[in-house]
């Protein structure tokens, strides 16, 4: 394969989706493959933008057909899976492919994609209080949901050292974080 898959990972609230949204705007030449999820669509989201929204039955059918590069239950709640074919085809065409997945996705993908074709970037925040504040500030969330994210958070943070790059998304410095990610992508490819 000639392309490179850049996986963005990190705890909930660190800013992974924000980084991806900014990257999409500034670098439309990169490939942003879709995942599928069984979670309900949030206000403002569109089918086929970042996710395909599947029912449990639809998701199961795609699992049985082998359509996912990986899939997992995230935050003990909903299924998420990265759709395989577009990723493999984009890598074969030599493209820069960027996607966020949770830490289970990271574990599966590093066993599925050869080391030379994969770069992992861990996005973190200054501290856990800040992560909680960002999660609360993003959208209303009940205590149960927050607790599930805190459980995932511990697992996510323990994997930071296994990633190729660690990028701190400092408060109010999203543009710097995006610039750092772009630099990592460009340096890897040059």
Q: What is the binding site for ligand ADP (CB under 6 A)?
A: 10, 12-18, 134, 137-138, 169, 171-174
Shortest gap between Cβ of 69 and ligand 5GP (angstroms)?
8
Q: Can you tell me which of 21, 24, 27, 39 binds ligand 5GP, judged by CB under 6 A?
A: 39
Give 80's strand partners: 37, 72
Q: Which is nearer to ligand ADP, 173 or 179 (CB)?
A: 173
- Judged by CB under 6 A, which stretch of 58-66, 101-109, 114-122, 178-186 contacts ligand 5GP? 101-109
- Tell me the residue ranges of DSSP E strands in the chain: 4-9, 35-37, 51-53, 68-74, 78-83, 96-100, 118-124, 165-168
Cα gap 176→64, rounded to integer Å? 42
3-state SS assignment for residue 14: coil
Return the H-helix or E-strand segment holding 57.
helix 56-65
Is 80 a binder of ligand 5GP (CB under 6 A)?
A: yes
Cα gap 85→93, rounded to integer Å? 12
Q: Can you tell me which of 35, 38, 124, 177 binds ligand 5GP, judged by CB under 6 A?
A: 35
Shortest gap between Cβ of 190 and ligand 5GP (angstroms)?
27
Which spans of this chain sit near ligand 5GP (rule: CB under 6 A)? 12, 16, 35, 39, 70, 72, 74, 80-82, 100-102, 104-105
């Amino acid at each position: 394969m000639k392309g490179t898959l850049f996986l963005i990972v990190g705890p909930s609230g660190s800013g992974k989706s924000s980084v991806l949204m900014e990257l999409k705007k500034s670098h439309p030449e990169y490939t942003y493959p879709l995942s599928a999820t069984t979670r309900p669509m949030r206000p403002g989201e569109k089918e086929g933008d970042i996710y395909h929204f599947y029912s449990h039955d639809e998701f199961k059918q795609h699992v049985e057909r082998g359509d996912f590069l990986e899939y997992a239950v995230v935050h003990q709640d909903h299924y998420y899976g990265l759709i395989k074919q577009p990723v493999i085809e984009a890598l074969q065409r030599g493209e820069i492919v960027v996607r966020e997945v949770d830490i289970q996705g990271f574990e599966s993908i590093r066993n599925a994609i050869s080391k030379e074709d994969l770069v992992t970037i861990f996005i973190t925040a200054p501290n856990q209080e800040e992560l909680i504040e960002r999660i609360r500030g993003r959208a209303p969330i009940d205590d149960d949901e927050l607790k599930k994210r805190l459980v995932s958070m511990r697992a996510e943070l323990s994997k930071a050292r296994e990633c190729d790059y660690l990028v701190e998304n400092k408060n109010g410095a999203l543009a710097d974080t995006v610039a750092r990610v772009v630099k990592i992508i460009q340096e890897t490819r040059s």
